[in-house]
Structure 1
Amino acid sequence: MGAAFFYHLTRHPLDHTLAVLLGKARGAGWRIAVRGTDAGRMEWLDEKLWQGPDEGFLAHGLAGGPHDALQPILLTADRGPALNDPACLMTLDGAEVAPEEVTALERVCILFDGHDPEAVQRARGQWKALTGAGCSAQYWSEETGRWEKKAER
């Protein structure tokens, strides 16, 4: 049974934090789906990941290509199941997560912008919905300059 990890971004931009989390998830041997809400935003993220440092290159692809099932990291704006059979789902920009996804996967990471009041409210709603459905969850904040676990259910 998996768990949802909420990451409250206040110091580093999304692309930086996402790259760190993707590297850790790949280090665990997981395939990852990154779910957003907008195809244009996922294209932007694709470009950012391609421009990353050589030593930390994260092989990935945008959903809709001929090799989706082979991608270790698949970026998608679709709500449906990812074609790369992920063990981990990372969401951004308030993308939906169902309790069934949390329990079926090793981990779900929900990244949200701590400077956006709507994003914070959306994350609070997701926390309440997922924990209310019996999912394990952790809340992580970087407000002190390093990641600290602030809550767990």
Structure 2
Amino acid sequence: MKKSLLTALILVPVIALCSCTGKMKEMQEQANQQFGDQHFKTTISLIELYKVRHGDYPSSLDSLDFIGDWDKIAISSTAYKKLDNGYELNLTNGWIGKPDSMKFPPDFWKGLGLKKSNLKAFKEDAKTDRSVRTAK
């Protein structure tokens, strides 16, 4: 009796944890996408605003003006490199990890100086409109 009770006490939480693992992973990916989307868009906005104010893109993200505490979180989730004809911006983190995939409407990329990115959505859109940007 004690052995079967002990087995039940061990197996029930293990089975419950296993059934929740898939749901937890799904929730984590959703959070990674939402935070990744916000971080990416916030950083682009700050970079493009810097260009409007100064006439050129910043040499680094440390050059950005008037950033708040939440902006710092977004900036820390990206990697930036100024290019001769614009900039490269890569998403490095979402919430806990990097999102597997993100989607943006094709018009999102219009008018930006963003020329390269590690986002799959950027690379897919670049295939259809090479006049606006290139992705490698």
Q: Structure 1 length as normaliser, TM-score? A: 0.22
Greater RCO structure (CA 8 Å; 6+ sep): 1
Bigger helix fraction: 2
Larger CA Rg, structure 1 vs 2: 2
- For normalisation by structure 2, the TM-score amounts to 0.24
